[in-house]
A and B are shown apart, each in its own frame.
Chain A
């Protein structure tokens, strides 16, 4: 596990977790991190199955029970598990066009989320939103399909929490491609200026659709950009869930204590295409991708450390499968919205 920390001169001093020095979380926490990752992956595998079940003949993106663009998060589970472990459902999370793992880790109701992805009336948005537009006021979770544009609303949620004198925080998540967008920079500047309780998270999966980060920015680590705005920045290498967990603990505590925002970049992996149907011909390392799967790696580590064994792993996988299949069944049984209601909900 390695982390790099960049500090601005104006940020309070803090000690960075160093390679090898990191204290392991409690076994119960480690097991929970693993279980969250498994649940996220099990969910994406189920959506993958349902999405492709009826796209043929050939591949018609608008066809089937789950139509439209589908951006799945396999490989990025360490981000969701590591960050959201420190949150309650009173905290806000704004996610991206690839939101499922974050929604699941934050505790969004699986049934209503799945019904939304299936475009059903029982969905979070009654079938008006779709998989890029999941809004759950119960857990203060939302997404934006527009790159980096989920950051500004997170500032507002943090602002409201701050003004009410609570220690609630907002977590704003985006990809490394979004770090080159204006909304990213405006938001970091404003959050630091007003010491808003925000944790900014960049999921660096190396690819902005087909363009690698090396062709998007001359900056080696987006965590370095934090210094420009007077906030701490951390980069977590290796998609290491426990490193994410450790770094997020500090950033969340800092925000809750009223000391302002932090920026965390996690080098993660996009195991599947940008969207389903993406052949990824632009990706020279494609054959190696399965070997970077963070879940078997973490399972192996936890088995070696005696946290998990066959029975525990089986129980975790069974619980995940049961929850996911229950949600999928709920979605399929839910009614489709009445076309006569297509113009409803524009205004309150």
Chain B
């Protein structure tokens, strides 16, 4: 896989349009790529993951499915085994419960069980996250669960450019890649959105290698390790705290599998302070893994105990104020940064 080195012309796109552009360019390039899922055709994806693709590529390659996630995710697996490059959409990550067997027992294990003789080059996309009162079954992230189970790469873009570059990389990868887009990063007109969901995106083929974190903001006082929508929140807080003399470095993990532990250690080695911000559940998940990465290598890197800002092991509540009380939003991130930077 080549990384595009030459500077490319860019224009401002929403994350959803950037993601769709990557899919379209790969479908032009490779006839074995197709996109399949619920409401991905005429509707264009409930969260605009496929807008306009049906018109360009037709119903043979942009395929609406019945509500049968086990059958159509498994279909993607079989097609991938035979050399096609399916992109299969699970409408919400929350729906993993109806089809997890195909995902973790089949998609993720076939390469291993076959001793490397059978590849499953497939992308499984899904929307995730809360913040708009969709309740406990339509607001979860669950990326930590996918990342916990071996055999699938897990990418979690936050920016429009990364959404494009990581999608291109995911389609070209010979492994199953779970591509999780937070609804809040897509730039949807019908949901509250961060201004960062509209940004510069390279025009041509663009690949962001999977497994390399990004320093979203350089800083010297504290490291905030985050992913997906929480990166935007962390950057907002960093900008707010800069005039107060707190210089925050924000690391956008971009993928959980592989996890760029080196980027975490490098930044914490520089700042000595760590806040992890994750919209997934707190315990036994991503935030603990990031802290463990430091603790296992050199706990002495930290001059203050690490802070974790995550959903405190409770289902996502419906009422707006309750939901915002458990999501890792600006107030809680700011408090955590203050807690590790008190002098």
Closest to B119 in A: A348
Contacts of A126 in B (CB 8 A): 115-116
Residues of A within 8 A of B114 (CB): 124-125, 128-129, 133, 135, 137, 345
* Complex: A11 Cα to B72 Cα, angstroms: 23
User: When chains A and B are docked, how far (Å) is the Cα of A121 from the Cα of B151?
Assistant: 20
**C-alpha gap A183/B103 in the complex (Å):** 13
B115 touches A124 (CB 8 A): yes
B68 and A133 form a contact (CB under 8 A): no
Q: How far apart are the CA atoms of A170 and B75 in the complex, in Å?
A: 12
**Of A140, A160, A190, A348, the contact of B71 (CB 8 Å cutoff):** A190
B residues in contact with A182, CB < 8 Å: 70, 98
Q: Which chain B residue shows the least CB distance to A163? A: B84
- Distance in Å from the Cβ of B82 to the closest Cβ of chain A? 4
**Contact string, A109-127, partner B, CB cutoff 8 A, digits 1/0?**
0000000000000011111
Residues facing A in B71-101 (CB within 8 A) are 71-84, 86, 98, 101
Q: Tell me if B68 and A129 are in contact (CB < 8 A).
A: no
Q: Quick one: which of A127, A156, A347 contacts B82, CB cutoff 8 A?
A: A156
List chain B residues, Cβ under 8 A from A124.
Answer: 114-115, 117
B78 contact set on A, CB distance < 8 A: 92, 152-160, 170
In the complex, per-residue mask of B258-294: 1 if CB is within 8 Å of any chain A CB, else 0: 0000000000000000000000000000000000000
A152 touches B153 (CB 8 A): no
| Contact A144 B111, beta carbon cutoff 8 Å | no
Q: Is the CB of B117 within 8 A of A137?
A: yes
Report whether A144 and B79 are in contact in the complex, using a CB–CB cutoff of 8 Å: no
The answer for the CA separation of A344 and B78 in the assembled complex, in Å, is: 23
**B35 nearest CB across to chain A (Å):** 14
Q: Nearest chain-A residue to B153 (Cβ)?
A: A347
Confirm or deny: A262 has a beta carbon within 8 angstroms of a beta carbon on chain B. Answer: no
A346: Cβ under 8 A from any B Cβ = yes
Contacting pair B113 A129 (CB below 8 A): yes
Which of A127, A151, A154, A159 has most B Cβ within 10 Å? A159
Q: What is the CB-to-nearest-CB distance from B103 to chain A, in angstroms, rounded to a whole number? A: 11
Which of A156, A186, A187 is in CB contact (< 8 Å) with B81?
Answer: A156
Find out whether the CB atom of A128 lies under 8 angstroms from the CB atom of B115: yes
Assess whether B25 is interfacial by the CB under 8 Å rule.
no
Report yes or no: A123 in contact with B70, Cβ–Cβ below 8 A.
Answer: no
Name the residue in A126, A140, A152, A156 with the highest tally of chain B Cβ atoms < 10 Å from its Cβ: A156
* Set B60, B68, B79, B81: member contacting A189, Cβ < 8 A: B68
Q: Are A137 and B66 in contact (CB under 8 A)?
A: no
> In the complex, are the beta carbons of A346 and B117 less than 8 A apart?
no
Q: Is the CB of A144 within 8 A of B105?
A: yes
> Measured between alpha carbons, how far is A127 from B118 in the docked complex, in Å?
14
Instruction: Give chain B residues whose Cβ lies under 8 Å from the Cβ of A155.
Output: 71, 74-75, 78
Instruction: Determine if A240 is an interface residue (Cβ-Cβ < 8 Å).
Output: no
Asked if A160 contacts B115 (CB within 8 A), the reply is no
Q: How far is the CA of A183 from the CA of B72 in the complex (A)?
A: 10
A314: Cβ under 8 A from any B Cβ:
no
Specify which of B84, B110, B111, B175 is in contact with A160 (CB 8 Å cutoff). Answer: B84
Give chain B residues whose Cβ lies under 8 Å from the Cβ of A161: 82
Q: Tell me, in angstroms, the Cα distance from A259 to B251 when the chains sit together.
A: 54
CA distance A182 to B97 in the complex (A): 13
**A92→B78 CA distance, assembly (Å):** 10
Contact partner of B66 (CB less than 8 A), chosen from A144, A183, A193, A347, is A193
B78 to chain A, nearest CB (A): 2
**Known interface pairs A155-B78, A156-B80, A160-B83; A135-B118 also in contact (CB < 8 Å):** yes
Chain A residues near B109 (CB-CB < 8 A): 133
Q: How far is the CB of A199 from chain B (nearest CB, A)?
A: 15
**In the complex, are the beta carbons of A187 and B74 less than 8 A apart?**
yes
Taking the closest CB of chain A, its distance from the CB of B58, in whole angstroms, is 13
Contact of B175 among A128, A149, A190, A347 (CB under 8 A): A347
Q: Determine whether the beta carbon of A160 is less than 8 Å from that of B74.
A: no
Interface residues of B (CB under 8 A from A): 60, 65-66, 68, 70-84, 86, 98, 101-102, 105-106, 109-119, 121, 150-151, 153, 174-175
**What are 6 A-B pairs at a CB distance below 8 A?**
A92-B78, A128-B115, A129-B114, A136-B117, A149-B102, A152-B74
| Besides A140-B82, A347-B151, 7 new A-B residue pairs in contact (Cβ under 8 A), listed by A number | A125-B115, A128-B115, A137-B81, A149-B105, A155-B71, A189-B68, A189-B71
Nearest first, the 5 A-B pairs at minimum CB distance are A152-B74, A156-B78, A126-B115, A160-B82, A186-B71
